[in-house]
Amino acid sequence: MTKISKTPPIDNQTKLLCFDLEANGLHGQVFAVGAVVMDSTGKILDQFSGRCKLNEEIDEWVAQNILPAIKDMSATHGNPEALREAFWRWYLQAEPQSDYVLVNNGYPVEYRFLMQCQEADLNERYWQHPFPILDLSSLLVQAHQDKKTIRKEILSKFSDQLGGSAHNPLYDAKLSALMAFSVLLPSE
C-alpha cells in the first residue's frame, strides 16, 4: 500500500504535529522527545514527552545547555530503543489528527530519528512516515522572516502556555508550531 500525500489547504483549521528531539550532539543518541498536535489557536490536541538516560559519553555542549534545561524531565524509558518505540506508537495514532508534520531544522537529528523508527520494522513501517514534512527554518527563509523576531513575538503572546524553557523538547515543539502558524497564517 502506497502512502498518499496529505496536502490540504493551510488555513485556520490546520493542525500541525510538531516534534523536537534532544540528542547527544548532532550525531549522538537521542535521549529526549517532545511532540504536540496543535491547532492554529495554539490549543494542544495531543502531546508526547519522553526521556531516557544517556548511555554514552556526554557531549560538553549538551551537558552545559540541554541537561540543565530538562533537569525536571524524568526518565520515562529504559533506553533509546524503548523511547523511539513509544514515540512511534504515539505518532501513528496522532499523525492522522494532523494536517502536516513539522520539525525545526530537522537535519540530521529528527530525520535520522524517523529513519530509525521505520527501520525497526521496515516491512510494516515502509510507508508510515510524514509526507510531506515541513521544516520551520525553510518556511522562515521562504517567508523572508527572521527567526529571532518571530520567536520574540510568539514568546510575548504565548510564554505562559509554553511551560519549560529552550532545549526542553516539549517546549521547543510548542514554540516551533506557534512560529510556523505565525508564518503560515499571518494576521491581517
- Digit-coded pLDDT (tens) for 64-94: 999 999 999 999 999 999 999 999 999 999 9
Look at residue 7 in the predicted model and tell me its pLDDT. Answer: 85
Region 121-130: mean pLDDT is 93
Q: Residue 3 above 80 pLDDT?
A: no
Element (H, E) at 77: none
| Selection from 120, 122, 132, 124 nearest residue 95 by Cα | 132
| Selection from 134, 144, 149 nearest residue 180 by Cα | 134
| Selection from 149, 166, 181 nearest residue 43 by Cα | 181
Q: Identify the CATH number of the domain defined by range 15-184.
A: 3.30.420.10
Going along the chain, which residue ranges are E strands?
15-23, 30-39, 44-51, 100-103, 133-135
Look at residue 160 in the predicted model and tell me its pLDDT. Answer: 86
Q: What is the pTM of this model?
A: 0.94
Q: Cell numbers 540541554 correspond to what residue?
A: 66
Q: Residue 44 above 80 pLDDT?
A: yes
Look at residue 181 in the predicted model and tell me its pLDDT. Answer: 97
Region 127-131: mean pLDDT is 90
Region 9-38: mean pLDDT is 97
Region 31-51: mean pLDDT is 97
| Selection from 4, 46, 54 nearest residue 29 by Cα | 54
Domain definitions of the chain by residue range: 15-184
In the chain, the percentage of residues whose pLDDT exceeds 90 is 88
Q: Residue 4 above 90 pLDDT?
A: no
| Residue 178 burial (CB count, 10 A) | 25
Is residue 21 classed exposed, middle or buried when 0-12, 13-18 and 19+ CB atoms within 10 A define those classes?
buried
Q: To the nearest whole number, what is the mean pLDDT of the chain?
A: 94
Q: Residue 167 above 80 pLDDT?
A: yes
* Cα 37 to Cα 8: distance, rounded to the nearest angstrom: 16
